[in-house]
A and B are shown apart, each in its own frame.
Chain A
């Protein structure tokens, strides 16, 4: 299990301040999500690709990610053109493909890909721990940040615990099949994992208590912002403005 396969590296994006990256990604995604025309997302996709290029991520892994995301887009392509009412694009036997349906599917696909690329370039290039701190530094509720950090810390432990139990069962001759015994065993495994996580939660809380925890979570260090960080925010902000401009320009006589 690897939750952060893009986070190590030394590219421009990896080195940028995480707070700036979060703000940029949030703002850019928001603008893209609010687009109605097709031109603006195309432009956004271009910008996102440039950002991704700057992050020097392994291309194969990125493509795999995009493939996963576009499986969902495919669902839209398979449904929307046939269900959204509107002017006819073409007839396929008994099926009617509508023009607005196609446009909507295209719009959704473009938007998702643009947002995914931006998030890959800006967010995935930081580890979860850093993101947690970034969010805390941006004054998000500390409960939320703690939840994120603790989930991150213990999801591996719980996964390992589950794997240990499963391995123990396998080593004692357990073979999954569609039988009552299998269901019962999996039920027990899950149940045990649940009990163990609860017990661990109690012990972690005790450990925190013993070290003087009083409900406040301190962030160790705030890195000072460099000029390049601000430049990144400015760049993404300007690009987002560009997207808005395209949207304005084409919303008069656009495709949809």
Chain B
């Protein structure tokens, strides 16, 4: 089991206020939900975990070793799968198959192996027959699912998902819930969707003013959302 520890992280953008103030967080043992206002720094925190942004102070520790050199970061990136907020940033190959096979190829798989891995992953996400589709011609929701496939094909130990339910219709969203439940991986999910977090995570943290507050009971509260399908009562399961 891989564990990642954020130790004493502080960070502020060059021209912005302080986002995190001596923040501690351990991930790798459970499913964590992150919720917080726009601009509170959720995405930035993910970038710090992945080493895309260097914090002002503090360290990222993986399996009791400080991640310091580029080799260690490569290892970490191999073990943590990060789903971007915007899928267009993540799908850069012309066809879906190539995009999903990109990771395995970089990890040293030969062509046929990478291809069969990619196809297996696509199938497991219910995206059979997508392999020859052109990435920029997919719909927003399809892009999101394919982006998830590009991550899962690298067989990560931990998942970081940045607003995975954006652009998803209710049916696809439920499919994602089922997919994530089946994966049985520790993960951190950023979402503004209480319902979704309640269904997919064990514990929810709210990020506000640079601090993480554990709020296990948050999903027991009534939550405002529009009942578009008001005629059809639905179970929130909370």
Contact = CB atoms under 8 A, between A and B. Distances in A.
B95 interface: yes
Given A153-B136, A218-B105, A204 B89 contact: yes
Contacts of B89: 200, 203-204, 206-207
B84 interface: yes
Contacts, number: 75
9 contacts: A154-B92, A200-B88, A208-B92, A211-B103, A211-B106, A211-B154, A216-B106, A220-B114, A221-B115
Interface in B72-96: 74, 77-78, 82, 84, 86, 88-90, 92-95
Interface of B: 50, 52, 74, 77-78, 82, 84, 86, 88-90, 92-95, 97-98, 101-103, 105-107, 111-112, 114-115, 134-136, 150, 154
Nearest to A199: B89
B89 to A, nearest CB: 4
A156 B135 CA distance: 11
Given A153-B136, A218-B114, 12 more contacts: A127-B134, A150-B92, A153-B94, A200-B88, A203-B89, A206-B89, A207-B90, A211-B103, A216-B106, A220-B101, A220-B115, A221-B115
Given A152-B94, A207-B84, A212 B135 contact: no
Contacts of A209: 52, 77
A220 B92 contact: no
A211 B102 contact: yes
Contact of B94 (A132, A208, A212, A213): A132
Contacts of B114: 218, 220
Interface of A: 127-129, 132, 149-150, 152-154, 156-157, 200, 203-204, 206-214, 216, 218-221
A12 B90 CA distance: 35
Contacts of A154: 92
Contact of A156 (B84, B136, B150): B136
Nearest to B47: A206
B106 A212 contact: yes
Given A149-B93, A153-B136, A218 B88 contact: no
Nearest to B118: A220
B50 A210 contact: yes
A146 to B, nearest CB: 10
Contacts of B74: 212
A65 B103 CA distance: 40
A129 B132 CA distance: 11
A39 B172 CA distance: 63
